[in-house]
Amino acid sequence: MRIVVINHVTLDGVIQGPGGPDEDTRDRFEQGGWAATEIGSPDPAIAAAMGARMAGSDGLLLGRRTYEDLLASWNEQGGPFKDALNNAQKYVASTTLTEPLPWPNSTLVTDVLAGVAELRARPGRELHILGSGDLLRTLLPHGLVDELLLMIHPVVLGRGRRLFPDGTPVSLDLVDATVTPSGVVITTYRTADKG
């Protein structure tokens, strides 16, 4: 299976808190919600791009924090994706969780690098990573990400957790780019060694 990242990102690389002011306030981040208008979608091109990509999904690969946030916000509050998320296979990469996961179709992956390598070796289409910045920063240097679908928003925040922090070199090949009416650039990058 291919591992594909689907994320919103600012021009200066921030992926923290795109959906709302309380989504991720670590490090006293107060600029959450910077992509909320487009996520909620007066810009149908974003929803179409994400929907088309998610249609090829064999499940989700999530970090612990993203898993818990999705469970709380989309599942328990009865969000529009509740049934799809409940039915999807979810792999949760965590070195801190030890208890059974409360969400249906969830599998804990505690040996992250070996576990993700094993998932990639399985037959299938794609596993999608949403959010999960810490997980991405673990996988990228080890060549365990095949492609990134990034929605690059025309905003610079100047602070926040970034997709590519210092010390994370990775070579990417641009596969596709589309500019939406709201100025978001939807890009698809393939990791350079994936052909």
Domain residue extents for the chain? 2-194
Sign of CA dihedral 101, 105, 106, 107: positive
Question: What's the CA gap between 61 and 4, in Å, rounded?
Answer: 9
Q: What are phi and psi of 133, to 5 degrees?
A: -55, -45
Residue 195: pLDDT band with limits 50, 70, 90? very low
Other beta carbons within 10 angstroms of residue 18's beta carbon come to: 25
CA distance 105 to 48: 26
Put simply, whether the predicted model's pTM sits higher than 0.85 gets the answer yes
* Contact between residue 162 and residue 15 where contact means Cβ atoms under 8 Å apart: yes
| Confidence grade of residue 76 (pLDDT, cut at 50, 70, 90) | low
**Each residue of 95-131: pLDDT tens digit?**
998 876 788 889 999 999 999 999 999 999 999 999 8
Q: How far is CA 53 from the centre of its chain?
A: 12
Whether 190 has a pLDDT exceeding 60, the answer reads yes
Tell me the two tokens of residue 179.
Answer: 């500019």
70 vs 75: CA distance, rounded Å: 7
Q: CA neighbours within 13 Å on the CB side: how many for 41?
A: 11
> Given 3.40.430.10, 3.40.718.10, 2.40.50.140, 3.40.50.740, which CATH number is that of 2-194?
3.40.430.10
C-beta separation of 164 from 9 below 8 A:
no
169-183: pLDDT as tens digits: 788 999 999 999 889
- Burial bucket for residue 118 (CB in 10 Å: 0-12, 13-18, 19+): exposed
Could you report the per-residue pLDDT of 31-49, keeping only the tens digit for each? 888 887 655 556 788 888 8
